[in-house]
Amino acid sequence: MQASTVSLPSKQCICGINISATSYQEVVELCSRWIAQKRRALSPVPTRYICVTSVHGVMTAREDPELRHSLNLADVATPDGMPVVWAMRSFGRKEQERVYGPTLMLKLCERAEQEQHRVFLYGSSEEVLAGLREKLRSKFPAIQFAGSIAPPFRPLTAEEERDVQRRIREANPDLLFVGISTPKQEKWMARQQQAIPGMVMVGVGAAFDFHAGRVKQAPKWVQDHGFEWLFRLLSEPKRLWRRYVLVTPMFLPHWALQFSGLAKYDSGQQSHEGIG
């Protein structure tokens, strides 16, 4: 199969952040094409990365230029929370559905098992990673793990970051799941584009803890009605109260200003064409 130019999902500016109008199936197919391209290429191919973007990510990025740049540079930034989905629909993306990080991770692992993609896990703790590998193997017995790293819960030194990059390059995975939470994971992926070429990186947030069984996931009906934030706040109030009490409530007025035309948000959107 010859390499061809593949259009990435179009993006909609939501309060200054470019969110992809996409679906689980489209993201899984894109990742498969990128991995196939890497495997048949005679020279390094571009690193790709995918963000799953909730209201927390959108609002944090409004005050954090590095995060905003990282999100808008992403090949795909999925609408991870229902308020983001509703905002997308309000701007004409009527069929948009949620593309939720933990579910996307499972769908990508299912495809990885089928196509023998090598999977690497970066994030959380050694205990959680061990539990995560066990749970994923129970669902996908033939899945191939290329390795895993549990980084310290602090910024890496330059030497530590080079060591992480070296270990990932040597493991040579196809698919790299990153679970170090927003905004760290988006910034980390954006920084790795030159250091670990050819990877497909997917920032999946709390998916590691959910799938390892460490943190309980909200029931689907709670997720579908946009109340997952309340479920998570009640589950982890000390860790998450600032996010859900101080940051995310600002989304509604910003959306209203954009929807009414009273405010213009410059996302710096560029052409989203890629090699697939």
Strand partners, 149: 122
pLDDT confidence tier of residue 5, bands split at 50, 70 and 90: low
What global pTM score does this model have?
A: 0.89
- Report the amino acid identity of residue 252: L
pLDDT value for 184: 96
E strands, the chain, are 5-7, 11-14, 17-20, 48-53, 76-79, 118-123, 144-149, 175-179, 200-203, 273-275
pLDDT value for 160: 96
User: What are the distances in angstroms from CA 124 to CA 112, 137, 205, 245, 272?
Assistant: 21, 18, 10, 25, 31
pLDDT confidence tier of residue 215, bands split at 50, 70 and 90: confident
User: What are the distances in angstroms from CA 19 to CA 8, 12, 53, 171, 232?
Assistant: 12, 5, 8, 31, 23
Please state, as a whole number, how many other Cβ atoms lie within 10 Å of the Cβ of residue 173.
Answer: 26
pLDDT confidence tier of residue 275, bands split at 50, 70 and 90: very low
Task: Please say if the pLDDT value at position 243 is more than 80.
Answer: no
pLDDT confidence tier of residue 269, bands split at 50, 70 and 90: very low
Domains in the chain (CATH in brackets) are 13-216+241-259 (3.40.50.10700)
